Amino acid sequence: MGVALLTQVSRRYFRHAIPLAVLSLLLLYLCARSFRVVSGCRSWAQSCNPEGPPPVQVRRQSGPLEAPKWKEPPCEGPQGVLGRVMEPFRASLNPEGDVALSQYLAGWRALVRFLTPLGSIFAFATDEASAKVTALEARVHGPEAAHYSSLAAMAAWERRAGLLERPGVAPRDPARSSGSRTLLLLHRALRWSQLCLHRVAAATPGGPDAGVQCGDAYRTALAPHHPWLVRQAARLAFLAFPGRGRWLGLACPGAGETEARAALARAAATLEAVYNRTQGLLAERGLLGLA
Ligand SMILES: *[C@@H]1O[C@H](CO)[C@@H](O)[C@H](O)[C@H]1NC(C)=O
């Protein structure tokens, strides 16, 4: 039984993970090379690259006159990168203590949009997340939509309807996972994203770089649930991780370092609040053990 399960699981992963891992490594290599060429340095960038083209930075720093203060679109506003992530996630925390699924999924969509430009490093997480978001959206808008308004409603209905997997047993066809299991997988990935954002925001300059920190977060939140091959691909991916400067530049384009870090920290706190509530709801229903 155990062996059969193992073979089944490894067959599944070998089919998908090996080509994926090879492709990721290739992309990573290309990406790491192009980062080196393309990325210039921001004045506060951690990973300031000596080969990078500096003209913009030089012009900014050497201006003898105070540059006229131009109003930045705040990154936490409705049009800002982080604002678009935080707004739906906050809205998903409904007053009944439940998690509204359509808002939660909208938050995830925005989070994937934020993480995607960080490169192929995140592809293994974001591609997977996108597929799961799509699968859950299909339920939220599908014929049983009435049962998929919130986490509690979904879990209650899937239990009543006998749709829940047995704890610890992965479904034969992952594409037909219950909504609750799909949510659990997203929930773990949310933990990783949250820890990663938090650590990038909170790190002290000169401390361990973002790759090391997100690697630690990966080992805490996701690695225990991933097979060996995926863990190895992830481990390699973190070696080519974008530096803190790039993170902050993407999160709050044009903002100063302090401001960008504070905004990122608030975004991480929002994700944590969503994570905490989801964790509590899943735990109360004994759903954390779905494989
Ligand atoms: C989430 O839960 C942890 C542990 O219970 C707690 O320390 C933390 O303050 C909570 N965070 C938020 C944002 O609610």
**Of all protein residues, whose CA lies closest to atom 13 belonging to ligand 1?**
273
113-161 confidence digits (pLDDT tens)? 998 887 766 676 677 789 999 999 999 999 999 999 999 999 999 999 9
Q: Is 159 exposed, middle or buried (0-12, 13-18, 19+ CB in 10 A)?
A: middle
Q: How far is the CA of 185 from the centre of ligand 1 (A)?
A: 20
CA distances from 256 to 29, 72, 202, 248, 250 (A): 30, 11, 15, 9, 12
With respect to residue 172, please indicate whether it lies within any of the assigned structural domains: yes
Q: How far is the CA of 167 from the centre of ligand 1 (A)?
A: 26
> What is the residue range of 23's domain?
1-30
| Prediction pTM value | 0.74
Same domain, 267 and 204: yes
**Of all protein residues, whose CA lies closest to atom 12 belonging to ligand 1?**
273
Read off the CATH number of the domain in which 198 is found. Answer: 1.10.3520.10
Same domain, 22 and 107: no
With respect to residue 60, please indicate whether it lies within any of the assigned structural domains: no
Fill in the DSSP letter of residue 150: B
Q: How far is the CA of 120 from the centre of ligand 1 (A)?
A: 30
Count structural domains, the chain: 2
Which range among 14-18, 91-95, 139-143 shows the weakest confidence by mean pLDDT?
14-18
pLDDT band of residue 230 (cuts 50, 70, 90) is confident
Same domain, 141 and 237: yes
Q: What pLDDT does residue 9 have?
A: 45
**Of all protein residues, whose CA lies closest to atom 4 belonging to ligand 1?**
276
**Of all protein residues, whose CA lies closest to atom 2 belonging to ligand 1?**
276
pLDDT band of residue 227 (cuts 50, 70, 90) is confident
Distance CA 104, CA 265 (A): 19
Same domain, 112 and 192: yes
Name the average pLDDT for the chain.
78
Instruction: State the DSSP H helix or E strand holding residue 162, giving kind and residue range, or none if neither.
Output: none
Ligand 1 binding pocket (C-beta < 6 A) is 269, 272-273, 276
Q: How far is the CA of 232 from the centre of ligand 1 (A)?
A: 30
Ligand 1 pocket test: pick from 276, 278, 282 the residue with the most ligand atoms within 8 Å of its Cβ: 276
